[in-house]
Structure 1
Amino acid sequence: MADTTEAAERMALSLSQGGLQKATARVLAALMFADTDSVTAPELAEQLGISSGSVSGAIKMLSTVGLIERVPAPGSRREHYRLREGAWATLMSTQNGMVQAMFEAADQGIAAAGENSPAARRLEEMRDFYGFMFRELPVLLDRWKAERGLPRTGDR
C-alpha cells in the first residue's frame, strides 16, 4: 500500500488556496486518496487529526455541492461516506445544491430589492449567469460523459 499522505496534503493545500476551508479541503483529499470504498467521519477525524465538528462541517459542505455521498455499510452502525461517482460533473450541474440555492437567492433578492434598483441589476447578472449555466452545462456534461463512455443525462 502506497503512502499517499504527502500527495493528499499537497492536494488539500491547493484546494484551500483555491477557496475551500482547510478542514474541508483535507477531508475531500482524504476521501479521494482513501484505500477503501468508504470512510466514516470518526476515521477521517482520526486520520487527519481534526475535530469531529470540523469533519461534520466538511461532510455537510461536500455533500451539499454533490462531491460526496453517504453510502450504506452493512454491519456497521456508523455512517459511511465516499466520493460520489461523477462527482466533478455533479459539481458543475444543477444537482449542486449550493449553486441552485444561489440562483434562487438572486431571484428572491430581485423581488425584495425592487426590479429597477441598483441591487436588482447586480442580482439579475448573478441570476442570469446561473440560468445560462443551467441551460448550457447539460450539453457540455453530455460531451464529457460521451468521452468517458458513460450514459448521457436522462439515459439512466
Structure 2
Amino acid sequence: MTEITGISDASAKSQFILYWGDMGGQWGVNRSVAQIHALLFLSVSPLNAEQISGELGIARSNVSNSLKELVGWKLIRRVPVPGDRREHFSAETDVWEMAMRIAQGRKEREIDPAISAISDCLDKASIEPEIHPEVLKRMQEMQAFLTTVDTWYGQMLNVPKSKLNLLMKMGNKVISLLTLNGKKSE
C-alpha cells in the first residue's frame, strides 16, 4: 500500500482512503482520482480543491484534473457554499446509486464500443469468403455475449434498488432456482 504525504495517520478514514485508492488502481482508475473520491465520499461537508489537496498531499493541478474526471462520471457534484466563491464538491453517498453510475460509465466506455467494433468485424467477415467458419462462429458468440450483457444491464436499470439488493443477497438461492434435477442448466 502506498502512503500519500497527506495521509500518514492510522485512522480508519485514512486507511479507507488509501485502500480505495489502491482498489481504484486495480480497476483501472488513477489512484489520485480514487483517493479524492473516497475523501469526498466520507466527508460530511463539501470540500474545495485546496482542502482536498492539503488533506491528501496531492498537487493542486492533479486535484483539479481528478475533480473534472469525477464530475464527468457523475460521482461528485459542485456544491455552492454561502460566502465562499471557490468551488466545493460533494460525493454521491448512496452506494447503490454510485455503483449504477460507475456501471453506466463503464458500459459507455467499454461495452458499447466493443459491441460496435465486433459488429463492424462481423460485417466485414460476412463478405470475406476465406474466413474460417470457426473464426466467424467465435466472433458471433462474442457479439451475442456482449449483446446479452447490454440487454441485462438495461433490464437491471429498471429494477428498484431494494429489489436488486434482495436479489444479490439471495446468492445461492438464485442458483438453486436455476438448477434442474441437481444439474446446473447452461
**TM category, shorter:** 0.5 to 0.7
Aligned-residue offset at 1:75: 2.5
Aligned-residue offset at 1:48: 0.9
Larger radius of gyration: 2
In structure 2, list runs of 5 or more residues that go unmatched. Answer: 1-10, 126-137, 167-186
Aligned-residue offset at 1:120: 6.8
1:130 maps to: 150
2:33 maps to: 24
| Higher fraction of strand | 2
* 2:121 corresponds to which of 94, 97, 113: 113
Matched, 1:33 2:42: yes
Aligned-residue offset at 1:139: 1.1
- TM-score normalized by the length of structure 2: 0.58
Aligned length: 144
Aligned-residue offset at 1:42: 2.1
Aligned-residue offset at 1:26: 1.2
* 1:141 corresponds to which of 155, 161, 166: 161
2:88 maps to: 80
Q: CA 1:11/1:97 → structure 2, altered by over 3 Å: closer, same or farther?
A: closer
Does the CA-based 8 Å contact 1:27-1:44 persist in structure 2?
Answer: yes
Which consecutive aligned stretches of 4+ in structure 1 deviate over 6 angstroms post-superposition? none
Per the alignment, in what secondary structure is the counterpart of residue 113 of structure 2? Answer: helix
* 2:53 corresponds to which of 45, 49, 57: 45
CA RMSD in angstroms, aligned pairs only: 3.4
What is the letter of the counterpart of residue 136 of structure 1? M
- What is the identity percentage for the equivalent residue pairs of Structure 1 and Structure 2? 22
Q: CA 1:29/1:75 → structure 2, altered by over 3 Å: closer, same or farther?
A: same
